[in-house]
Chain A
Amino acid sequence: DAGITQSPRHKVTETGTPVTLRCHQTENHRYMYWYRQDPGHGLRLIHYSYGVKDTDKGEVSDGYSVSRSKTEDFLLTLESATSSQTSVYFCAISEFQGRPDTQYFGPGTRLTVL
């Protein structure tokens, strides 16, 4: 299994509070991704990173920001959490781009916003 950990694994928070989710990898892969999983929607890309300090928006980026100061860590921040951000968040990594490289997924973080 790819060495990907996510923390916390579960979090309950209140509307309006900031939340940061962490993804840590031990594979030294260049590309990292944040997805959210919601019933009836599958997984949708929030943000991705193609290197340290290099990030870009995905399909559902509104209300989220990311940072990557080290190869191994990719942080997802909800500046002011809303109930619509209640979801399961998955981090993924891949080694290459420009070819159909496999993305490896972490175990997920279940976030509940009350």
Chain B
Amino acid sequence: AQSVTQLGSHVSVSEGALVLLRCNYSSSVPPYLFWYVQYPNQGLQLLLKYTSAATLVKGINGFEAEFKKSETSFHLTKPSAHMSDAAEYFCAVTETGANNLFFGTGTRLTVIP
């Protein structure tokens, strides 16, 4: 069975500080992993995805994530937080041939000026 766990439902960082959002996955086969961002009253937008081509994945808006098989993790990072990064972030997992994404419960990021 596939699942993801996002540690920390709320994360606060100061503007300019490092952003680290945690995601651990469970999958019986090599997974495909995604990070989505949701701004208030909007749909989800893809930030980045891991498809086994490279373990360090770069996405939009300066975000990146590293796939670590030994730790079953896919944490999202950004070196310097911007006010516009305030949003909710979702990690999701799927497998080849699967029909849907399994989402984590989300992490709400607050950026303090």
Contacts and interface: CB of A to CB of B under 8 A. Distances in A.
B99 A102 contact: no
A102 B36 CA distance: 10
A58 interface: yes
Residue from the set A44, A100, A106 with the largest chain B CB neighbour count within 10 Å = A100
Interface string A25-51: 000000001000000111111001010
Interface in A1-31: 4
B44 A90 contact: yes
Contacts of B96: 98-100
A91 to B, nearest CB: 9
A63 interface: no
A74 interface: no
Contact of A45 (B43, B100, B104, B105): B100
A7 to B, nearest CB: 14
A56 B43 contact: no
How big is the A interface, by class? 20 to 34
Given A41-B105, A42-B103, A100 B44 contact: no
Contacts of B94: 100
B101 interface: yes
Interface string B96-111: 1101110111100000
B46 A102 contact: yes
Interface of A: 4, 33, 40-45, 48, 50, 56, 58-59, 90, 92, 97-100, 102-108
Interface of B: 32, 34, 36, 41-46, 49, 51, 90, 92, 94, 96-97, 99-101, 103-106
Given A43-B103, A102-B46, A104-B46, 14 more contacts: A40-B105, A42-B105, A43-B92, A50-B99, A90-B44, A92-B44, A98-B97, A99-B96, A100-B94, A105-B43, A105-B44, A106-B43, A107-B42, A107-B43
